[in-house]
Chains A and B, each alone.
Chain A
Amino acid sequence: DTGVSQDPRHKITKRGQNVTFRCDPISEHNRLYWYRQTLGQGPEFLTYFQNEAQLEKSRLLSDRFSAERPKGSFSTLEIQRTEQGDSAMYLCASSTSRDRIPYEQYFGPGTRLTVT
C-alpha cells in the first residue's frame, strides 16, 4: 500500500478555465476528505464522503466546486471557471470508520493550484 495519492501534484491554469484533481485513497478506507490550504494557514475542510455518499459540504464549497466519488474508491474535485482566489494547495485524506468511531486521517501530498 502506497498511501494516499493525488494527481496532478501541480497545476497552473488561466482564470476562467476548469480544472479537475484526482485522489486515490488507501484501498480499505471508506471515508475520503477534501481540504484546501492557503499559505500560512491550516487546512480548511471542504467536503467528505463515506463510500460513494457525499455526507457533508462546507460553505467554502461554492457552486463552482463539485466533488464525486462514483464507486466509493477514487474521488475527483472539479473547479469550474477558476478564479485567482482558488489558488491554494488542495489536500485529500482518507480514513476508515468502524462501529461509528472515526479513525485517524491519512493525507496525500496535495495538488498545488496556481490560477494566473
Chain B
Amino acid sequence: DAKTTQPPSMDCAEGRAANLPCNHSTISGNEYVYWYRQIHSQGPQYIIHGLKNNETNEMASLIITEDRKSSTLILPHATLRDTAVYYCIVSYHDMRFGAGTRLTVKP
C-alpha cells in the first residue's frame, strides 16, 4: 500500500537545482521521511532522512512541511550523474518503496 505519491518523471537542466516533491498525507507521528535513489542496475543509495525539521547533507536538502504531509528533496546543482529513480519513503524502519520519480538531468 503506497504511503507516498510522487510524479513519475521529471527533467532538470544540468547545473540547476532539482526539486523533487513527495506527498505523504497519512504519515504517522513516529514515521520518518527517507529519500533513496537508484541508478540503473545498481542497488538503492541512501540520500537523506528527517522527522520534522529540514535537513541538509553533502548530497541534498530535505524540506518537510510543518504539517509533515509533504516534503521536497532538493539537489542544489544537478549533474548528469544524478540521473536516477528517486524514492520517497515514510517509515519507522522498514522501507516500502513505491515507483519513485525518474529524474533525467539534461546537458
The bracket for how many chain B residues form the interface is 20 to 34
State the CA gap A104–B89 with chains docked (Å): 11
Query: Interface residues of B: mostly helix, strand, loop or mixed?
Result: loop
Query: Chain B contacts of A32 at CB under 8 A?
Result: none
Stretch of A40-48, A66-74, A76-84 on the interface side: A40-48
Measured between C-beta atoms, what is the minimum distance from A1 to chain B in Å?
15
Q: In whole angstroms, what is the CA distance A37 to B93 when docked?
A: 19
Q: How far is the CB of B106 from chain A (nearest CB, A)?
A: 22
Residue B96 lies at the interface, judged by CB distance under 8 Å to chain A: yes
Among B42, B46, B49, B94, point to the contact of A56 (Cβ < 8 A).
B94
Q: Is residue B21 within 8 Å, beta carbon to beta carbon, of the partner chain?
A: no
Interface residues of A in 87-112 (CB under 8 A from B): 91, 93, 97, 102, 104-110
Q: A33 to chain B: which residues have CB within 8 Å?
A: 94-95
Shortest beta-carbon distance, B96 to chain A, in Å?
Answer: 6
Q: Collect the chain B residues with CB atoms within 8 Å of residue A41's CB.
A: 99
User: Is chain A's interface secondary structure helix, strand, loop, or mixed overall?
Assistant: strand
The answer to whether B95 touches A105, judged by C-beta atoms less than 8 angstroms apart, is: yes
Q: Which of B34, B45, B91, B97 contacts A42 (CB 8 A)?
A: B97
Residues of B within 8 A of A42 (CB): 85, 87, 97-100
Which one of B42, B43, B49, B85 contacts A104 once the chains associate, using CB atoms below 8 Å?
B49
> Could you tell me if A44 and B97 are in contact, using CB atoms closer than 8 angstroms?
yes
Q: Is the CB of A91 within 8 A of B94?
A: no
B-side residues, CB < 8 A to A, are: 32, 34, 42-46, 49, 85, 87, 91-100
Report A's interface with B, CB cutoff 8 A. 4, 31, 33, 35, 41-45, 48, 56, 91, 93, 97, 102, 104-110
23 contacts between A and B (CB under 8 A): A31-B93, A35-B95, A41-B99, A42-B87, A43-B97, A44-B97, A45-B95, A48-B93, A48-B94, A56-B94, A93-B43, A93-B44, A93-B95, A97-B93, A102-B91, A104-B49, A105-B44, A105-B46, A106-B46, A107-B46, A108-B43, A109-B42, A110-B43
